């Protein structure tokens, strides 16, 4: 690599360094509220730095930035719709009694010797059905932490089980925004993406459960957790019925039939919405009270349903932990994520238009001639970016932008890129103390990130598992289509 190429790489790294510094500053000042706007401002400032440097050193024209931004935003239009539908589904599944029913029957399985395994499985199921690790940890996770204390487990090991399960579900759920983002960025349909993730995720979860089983069997219980009050509060506010679980079953069937994700989410949310009215009319009336007063009737049911879909709603059960569990944010809860993604697309688009992504990638190419080193480098980059940019969404986007062209040029499948990103960027974000995920979960659980980190076995093993499975070659094949001239140029062979 000549001096000019090195100079281009150094200049191209400046916007990322600026972004890293601003995000670190934002997290230190705003904490978990950084996603509400401060991180977006950091992205816009970094975008401006990128444009200024590109104009000064690379001669990039303004219309090239506009074109790239338009292309980037257009490419995520379906993700925005997916996120809104995910918000609607989260609300309707919770307020229709589906999630409360799952939890009501799920907690019955908890016993001291099997507590850690049960906690992992319960969090995995809840997160799988809701698509949100944050919501799972903030609700059932908090309750399980208290149960673990009663049974004599340390907070650190209990938190490790909760986080391991929650991030398994988040990673494997078609309702997850990170899953939707990773599949889209790698150009793979979401359900194909999820099926391929199973080749690494299932073995990793299996190892995790075995480790927690051994810890549980060796544990001497200090006492038994009293779950009756928790279950009574749920049953006292919701009509708990196994019939409600037919909706998740129907959703799974639709997924199995390979119906498009947007159609599945829309249909499932619609069915759950109708169920809200007939199965939980008192809940709908309570949600409607801020807008209708005590009017009730059909209007109350309709207003309650609409608010469930779009607004942050909650109901009173007489139990603070259960109140947190049965609250939801609807579509409005997705707006900050959408806001962040749009700003990230500005940054990513300008980085692409300026050629900076290409220049950075050119420095990585010598390390990625073969498949396994390429995946290992991708996973390492995803982990590093979680620490550098302090946010898993940005890590997913930047890792994809850096490596997508390399995967295409070298003839590797897009699903391999998506899996490497999920096994690194998605699951390790919670292990970084200054990352928004790490800071959020540490605050919610009241446990320092570095304290629970050694027990997050699922999150720790995942990056290594993706490299191991790539080396084995399970489910992989080599593309035979030669790279196009445009792709070759994108990777930066003109740097010499």
Q: Average the pLDDT over 423-449 and give the result.
A: 81
Whole-model pTM: value is 0.69
pLDDT at residue 141, as a whole number = 77
Rounded to an integer, the average pLDDT of 197-211 is: 93
* Mean pLDDT (whole number) for 389-418: 79
Res 289 pLDDT > 90:
no
Dihedral pair phi/psi, residue 313, rounded to 5°: -135, 155
Six-digit token pair at 481?
A: 């289509």
Q: Long-range contact list for 197-201, CB < 8 A, 24+ apart?
A: 197/171, 197/172, 197/418, 197/419, 197/422, 197/423, 198/172, 199/419, 199/469, 199/474, 199/475, 200/419, 200/423, 200/462, 200/465, 200/466, 200/469, 201/168, 201/171, 201/172, 201/423, 201/462
pLDDT for res 456? 95
- pLDDT at position 138 is 66
pLDDT of the residue at 491: 41
Average pLDDT value for the chain = 81
Question: What is the distance of C-alpha 24 from the center of its chain?
Answer: 20
State residue 478's pLDDT score.
Answer: 56
> For residues 208 and 121, is the Cβ–Cβ distance under 8 A?
no
Per 3-state DSSP, the chain is made up of helix, strand and coil in percentages (nearest 5) of 80, 0, 20
- Is the model's pLDDT at 461 over the cut of 90? yes
Q: E strand or H helix at 72, and its extent? A: helix 62-75
Q: How confident is the model at residue 207 (pLDDT cuts 50, 70, 90)?
A: very high
Helices (H) and strands (E) in the chain, counts: 27, 0
Q: pLDDT band at 428, cuts 50/70/90?
A: very high
The yes-or-no verdict on residue 271 having pLDDT over 70 is yes
pLDDT in the model for residue 256: 62
* pLDDT tens per residue, range 66-104: 888 888 777 777 778 877 887 888 889 889 988 888 777
Residue 159, pLDDT score: 94
Residue that wins the pLDDT comparison between 336 and 42: 42
| Percent with pLDDT over 90 in the chain | 21
Backbone angles phi, psi at 329, to 5 degrees: -110, -5
Q: Does the pLDDT value for residue 492 go beyond 60?
A: no
pLDDT of residue 477: 64
Q: What's the pLDDT score for residue 280? A: 92
Q: Are 415 and 196 in contact (CB under 8 A)?
A: yes
**What token pair was written down for 39?**
């991180």
| Whole-Å CA distances, 295 to 237, 265, 306 | 20, 32, 16
pLDDT of residue 394: 76
**pLDDT on residue 480:** 44
> pLDDT band at residue 306, thresholds of 50, 70 and 90?
very high
Query: Given pLDDT bands bounded at 50, 70 and 90, which one contains residue 409?
Result: confident
Question: Does residue 376 carry a pLDDT above 60?
Answer: yes
State whether residue 265 is helix, strand or coil.
Answer: helix
The residue behind tokens 């070298």 is 410
The predicted pLDDT at position 73 comes to 79
Residue with the bigger pLDDT between 142 and 485: it is: 142
Please list the residues that pair with 313 across neighbouring strands: 328
Query: For residue 454, what are the CA distances in angstroms to 77, 197, 245, 322, 434?
Result: 38, 24, 35, 29, 17
Give the pLDDT confidence of 317-331 residue by residue, as tens digits: 887 767 876 788 888
Per-residue confidence (pLDDT) for residue 297, from 0 to 100: 81
- Of the pLDDT bands very low, low, confident and very high (cuts 50, 70, 90), residue 273 is very high
**Is pLDDT at 165 greater than 90 in this prediction?**
yes
Question: How much is the pLDDT for 495?
Answer: 40
Using CA atoms, how far residue 120 sits from 107, 155, 210, 465, 486, in Å, is: 12, 14, 11, 19, 46
Of the chain, the percentage scoring pLDDT greater than 70 comes to 86
Q: Are 304 and 283 in contact (CB under 8 A)?
A: yes
Tell me if residue 218 falls in helix, strand or coil.
helix
Could you tell me the CA-to-CA distances from 492 to 283, 348, 363 in Å, in that order?
A: 58, 17, 9
Lowest mean pLDDT among 229-233, 266-270, 346-350, 456-460: 229-233
- Reading the block at residue 295, the tokens are 């009017």
Reported confidence tier of residue 197, pLDDT bands at 50, 70, 90? confident
pLDDT for residue 272: 92
Structure confidence at residue 460 (pLDDT): 95
Residue 38's pLDDT band (boundaries 50, 70, 90)? confident
């Amino acid at each position: 690599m000549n001096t000019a190429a090195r100079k281009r790489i150094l200049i191209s790294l400046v916007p990322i360094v600026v972004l890293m510094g601003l995000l670190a500053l934002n997290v230190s000042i705003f904490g978990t509220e950084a996603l509400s706007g401060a991180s977006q401002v950091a992205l816009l400032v970094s975008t401006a730095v990128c444009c200024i440097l590109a104009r000064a050193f690379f001669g990039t024209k303004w219309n090239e930035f506009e074109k790239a931004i338009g292309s980037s935003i257009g490419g995520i239009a379906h993700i925005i719709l997916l996120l809104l539908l995910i918000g609607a589904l989260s609300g309707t599944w919770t307020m229709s009694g589906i999630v409360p029913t799952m939890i009501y029957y799920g907690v019955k399985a908890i016993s001291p010797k099997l507590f850690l395994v049960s906690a992992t499985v319960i969090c995995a199921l809840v997160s799988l059905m809701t698509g949100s690790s944050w919501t799972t940890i903030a609700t059932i996770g908090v309750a399980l932490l208290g149960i673990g204390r009663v049974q004599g487990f340390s907070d650190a090991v209990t938190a490790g089980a909760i986080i391991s399960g929650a991030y398994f579900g988040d990673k494997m759920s078609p309702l997850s925004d990170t899953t939707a983002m990773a599949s889209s960025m790698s150009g793979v349909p979401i359900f194909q993406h999820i099926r391929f993730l199973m080749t690494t995720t299932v073995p990793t979860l299996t190892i995790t459960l075995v480790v927690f089983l051994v810890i549980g069997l060796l544990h001497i219980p200090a006492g038994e957790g009293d779950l009756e009050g928790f279950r009574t509060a749920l049953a006292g506010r919701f009509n708990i019925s196994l019939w409600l679980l037919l909706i998740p079953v129907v959703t799974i069937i639709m997924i199995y039939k390979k119906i498009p994700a947007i159609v599945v989410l829309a249909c499932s949310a619609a069915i759950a919405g109708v169920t809200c009215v007939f199965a939980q009319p008192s809940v709908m009336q309570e949600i409607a009270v801020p807008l209708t007063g005590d009017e009730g009737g059909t209007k109350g049911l309709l207003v309650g349903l609409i608010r469930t879909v779009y607004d942050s709603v909650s109901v009173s059960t007489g139990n603070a932990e259960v109140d947190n569990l049965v609250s939801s944010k609807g579509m409005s809860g997705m707006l900050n994520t959408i806001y962040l993604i749009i700003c990230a697309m500005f940054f990513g688009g300008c980085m692409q238009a300026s050629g900076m992504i290409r220049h950075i990638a050119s420095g990585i190419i010598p390390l990625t001639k073969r498949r396994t080193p390429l995946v290992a480098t991708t996973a390492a980059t995803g982990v590093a970016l979680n620490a550098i940019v302090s946010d898993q969404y940005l890590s997913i986007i930047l890792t994809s932008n850096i490596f997508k062209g390399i995967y295409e040029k070298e003839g590797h499948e897009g699903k391999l890129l998506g899996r490497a990103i999920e096994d690194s960027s998605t699951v390790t974000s919670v292990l970084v103390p200054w990352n928004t995920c790490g800071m959020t979960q540490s605050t919610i659980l009241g446990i320092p990130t570095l304290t629970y980190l050694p027990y997050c076995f699922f999150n720790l093993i995942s990056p290594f598992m993706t490299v191991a499975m790539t080396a084995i070659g399970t489910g992989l094949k080599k593309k035979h289509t030669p790279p196009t001239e445009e792709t070759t140029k994108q990777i930066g062979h003109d740097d010499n």
